Chains A and B, each alone.
Chain A
Amino acid sequence: MQASLDVADAGYQVYLVERTPWIGGHMSQFDKTFPTNDCAMCTISPKLTEVGQHPAIELITNAEVKEVRGEEGAFHVRVSQKPRYIDEGKCTACDQCAEACRLKDKVFDDFNMGLGSRSACYLAYPQAIPVTYAIDPEHCLMVTRGQCGTMPKCIEACDRQAIDFQQHESSLELEVGAIIVAVGYDIFDPTLKPEYGYGTYKGVISSLEMERLFSPSGPTEGEIIIDGKVPQRFVFIQCVGSRDQTVGNPYCSRVCCMYTAKHAYGIVDRVPGAQVTVCFTDVRAFGKGHEAFYERVQRSGVLYRRGLPSEVFARNGDLVVRGEDTLLGRPYEEAADVVVLACGLRPRRGMQEIAAVLDLAVDENGFLLEEDPHDPVVSGRPGVFFAGCCESPKDITDSVSQASGAAAKALAVISKVHG
């Protein structure tokens, strides 16, 4: 979004191609941002609106880039757009279709990390841009089976006749001067670390689930409720899927130390009397204000224990975290109600295909490879630039800097073309 705004504010046309039905990415799932504990949604939503309303930005959602021909200054891009099954011009996001949907409260709510459920027609979150519902093609009965009762309830409910199951996948051809890749990341799948019991024990959750539990617009409206109870004993485990050769991710994910500090602080703040432990190897509080925040968290009563646990298991209804405290040089067991896994950042699914379409190289970890290790913005292909976590994990601040950087390089290309 930042790169789009910079280029558009300079007066050039931007096509923003987004794979999902809405822009906003992971940040819109976050509750707060470190190190200031500002509300993430309050920070991002003015940007969402700005992008959505900018006369020089054309949003192409539900779409993917399929082919790139040409060269710097004159790329021909083919974009394939999946049907939304809802007419963007007519939908007023009144929510009647979601209310009426036969699958109401039956569909896995991916935005809430499955902690809630939704309908097959939905708006991922209230501030989403464009403010238009979409129909989930993986679940909607009309799409998957071609039939939903005698007549889909959403069609009956929509008084604007915005629902349109006749929509087809369409193809767009764009002529552009420069390309900015900002496809982001996926979080590490914690089932790949079976020793931590994710998926086995309800009390073991991922950091992104923690984020949704904190969110006032999340499945529990900000209450820390897990499995119907308000837990008291929390253990956070850092570096899950980071700095870990055994799962093929040797790199550091750069954000987990700080978001865990934020989560730990959030628990102390919201769950009176809670007991909070963070298990770590090195605390990487390197950004501006990070060290001060880390200290504030320690002073709030959060116990930082050095050494990553070897396993999490259940005993007499409790979760037990077993590990070695490397400062004491002793093995320990700690009982917990909730174990939060600080999942690292992975190259997003389909990165290889994206790289192939754009004719770019990926590095040994599967992120996009820059031309010079000291310049994360410039790719190996002239006219193509990187912004954010597609190049390597980084926090919002560093992503925003890099995004403006990509915009600068793109602007230099376009302004040459325009003379």
Chain B
Amino acid sequence: MRKRVRVGVYVCHCGRNIAGYIDIPQLVEKLKAVPNVTMVKDDTYMCSDQGQAMIQKDLREGTIDRVIVASCSPTMHERTFRRCVAEEGFNPYLYQQVDIRENCSWVTKDIKEATQKAYAIIKAGVSRVKGLEPLWPTEYSVAPTTLVIGGGIAGITAAIDILEAGFNVILVEREDHLGGWTRRIGKGFPALVPLKAFLQDKLETLESYPQLKVYRSSEVVGLEGFPGNFLATIRQADNTTIEEAIGSIIVATGFVPFDARKKPEYCYGMSEQVITTVEMEELLERGMPSDNGQPKEVAFIQCVGSRDKSIGREYCSRACCMVVAKQALLLKELIPEARISVFYMDIRAFGKGHEECYEKAQRSGVLYIRGNPSEVYKEDDKMVIRYEDTLLGKPQEAKADLVVLAVGMEPAEGTAELIKALRVTGDKDGFFLEAHPKLGPLNTHSDGIFIAGCCQGPKDITDTVAQAHGAAARATLSFHQGRVIKEPIIASVDGEVCSGCRLCEAICSFDALRFDERRKRMTIQEAVCKGCGACAATCPSGAISLKHFRPAQMLSWVEGFLA
């Protein structure tokens, strides 16, 4: 015969948060009469050391075999109390947190009603806790290797950190060389120091590690498995594919400059006198043509392909303002007599030393004109820029020998395909979507897959490097531990009941379901399942249930409210 369950209920005052709105002595008395409740205690703060010690003592003495703390929301302290009971060797999943603060005392003004409501919530909790079953987390070993996709400055920085910490890196680069866009930039802003040494230094460090494996001219085309134990498919230059076992992934695929031909009013591609900042970078590196080939009047136009809804590019590209300030300064050094103007809407010189660099450009004689040109056209051997100076409030025309378009950043080619191959999410502009706009800029919604640099959104080298270091930390957390621990609250399939209709497969956002073709039954990849319960709700035959939230457990919870 099944032993009668003995429930201990601990009511928390939460200072006055609960005790101020609920009649605790009355509540305690009423709870004592609830079937199966063999002990009711209360304390000012159950989460305090002494509150927890009280629970542990009762468990040790064997007077109870289920624990309920009626206090705050489970997000606040469920973990605290699970750990508290686990320390006594008690299965933490036989513990039930009951929320009488957020759900009751904070939102119910009348003390009588609040007390009644708290009683109902706790009574339902008692009904639920009776039917809970012990669960055990699973541990998986991890492959201490990170797959870094993209060998630009973000990928290189992240890879070095991971190698330095003693783990392995597989670096996949689409081009036949490493270095990305940084290779094509002469000097960095705002310090105007050459980037060559900075990059070279990093490349040498990177390549000094024997635990590094590089696939050049290759792409990642597929991903299977789960965090700690992924299997990535890499397509190599000769079109053969190879599989690599990895534990985590950092995406660092960067950006592609906006194609200025999409703004035909600026004449790019129609006149050699209109170039982009990318081409200007090369000119500055190679050196300007001497004497009469040198432009004497140069106009930079900001925000080409940025902050422009007419072409579906609403976002700011974050680096162009400073790229222009830098190029204008370097050009002024090369051709001191050149007249340089910059057409802008807002100057976004926000990073360390940026404002100072912008001011330096202004002081060197670069003329900043507020207003976005409406068109650029050729007249004789000059380009004419038509614009409204918004500070003067007047339409104007300016002439230039050379017009430089500050092109914004777009997701690198193939970003959409990679997002699909990795089964992560893109944002509305096509970049990789981060898990949280504030606290999760390095994570995707899929565990084990992280992002660094411009694949997540435009940014400059400094911010890219910071983010790349960060992604390296996140990607290796489980490597340091050597294992991942998986919460046991996941779905399970009753093979006897499953009809193999496969409806659940389409509903799973995490690709956790695998159909067993031989037995015509659905199976769960336990390591992948997140325990959201969508498959359980979808299953027409009730073959899938979510552990800890099985139908019987839910029903007895509801019955507890109704009884």
Report A's interface with B, CB cutoff 8 A: 2, 6, 9-12, 33, 35-36, 38, 43, 46-47, 49, 53, 89-95, 126, 131, 243, 250-252, 254, 282-292, 295, 326-329, 363, 367, 372-377, 391-392, 396-398, 400-409, 411-412, 415-416
Contacts and interface: CB of A to CB of B under 8 A. Distances in A.
B538 interface: no
Nearest to B450: A404
Interface stretch (B190-198, B223-231, B237-245, B412-420): B190-198
B49 A377 contact: no
Contact of A398 (B47, B80, B463): B463
Interface in B28-64: 43-45, 47-51
A372 B348 CA distance: 22
Given A286-B350, A373-B188, A93 B15 contact: yes
A10 B157 CA distance: 20
B347 interface: yes
B437 A377 contact: no
B505 to A, nearest CB: 32
B315 interface: yes
Interface residues of B, number: 79
B353 interface: yes
Contacts, number: 206
A411 B462 contact: no
Contacts of A90: 50
B49 A397 contact: no
B173 interface: no
B476 A288 contact: no
Contact of A287 (B318, B442, B480): B318
9 contacts: A43-B436, A92-B43, A254-B350, A285-B348, A329-B391, A376-B465, A400-B440, A401-B463, A415-B166
Question: Which 5 pairs between the two chains have the least Cβ-Cβ distance?
Answer: A405-B469, A404-B470, A408-B473, A10-B480, A282-B346
Contacts of B477: 6, 9-10
A94 B355 contact: no
Interface of B: 13, 15-17, 43-45, 47-51, 75-77, 79-80, 83, 157, 161, 164-166, 188, 190-191, 193, 195, 198, 307, 314-316, 318, 346-356, 359, 390-393, 427, 431, 434, 436-442, 456-457, 461-463, 465-474, 476-477, 480-481
A116 to B, nearest CB: 18
Contacts of A363: 352
Given A363-B352, A391-B352, A412-B161, 13 more contacts: A10-B473, A38-B438, A49-B76, A91-B48, A93-B15, A93-B45, A252-B349, A288-B437, A329-B393, A373-B352, A373-B462, A404-B469, A408-B473
B471 A404 contact: yes
B79 A53 contact: yes
Given A89-B49, A408-B470, A252 B198 contact: no
Given A243-B355, A376-B462, A400-B439, A329 B392 contact: yes
B351 A411 contact: no
Contact of A415 (B307, B315, B463, B480): B480
Contact of B161 (A91, A367, A408): A408
Contact of B316 (A254, A290, A411, A412): A290
B114 to A, nearest CB: 19
Contact of B315 (A283, A288, A326, A328): A288
Given A250-B355, A401-B467, A6 B474 contact: yes
Most A CB within 10 A of own CB, among B198, B347, B354, B438: B438
B355 A404 contact: no
A292 B434 CA distance: 17
B487 to A, nearest CB: 15
A46 B466 contact: no
B35 to A, nearest CB: 31
Contact of A397 (B45, B51, B348, B438): B438
A53 B49 CA distance: 12
B12 to A, nearest CB: 10
B480 A404 contact: no
Contacts of B442: 400-401, 404
A250 B439 CA distance: 29
B69 to A, nearest CB: 15
B47 A131 contact: yes
A396 B315 contact: no
Given A95-B15, A250-B355, A415-B166, A397 B441 contact: yes
Given A252-B349, A282-B347, A283-B346, A408 B469 contact: yes
B473 A404 contact: yes
A377 B393 contact: no
Given A89-B49, A92-B44, A252-B350, A401 B356 contact: no
A156 to B, nearest CB: 17
A142 to B, nearest CB: 23
Nearest to A402: B466
Contact of A327 (B49, B353, B390, B472): B390
A375 B462 contact: yes
B365 to A, nearest CB: 19
A2 B392 CA distance: 48
Contacts of A250: 355-356, 359
Contacts of B195: 374
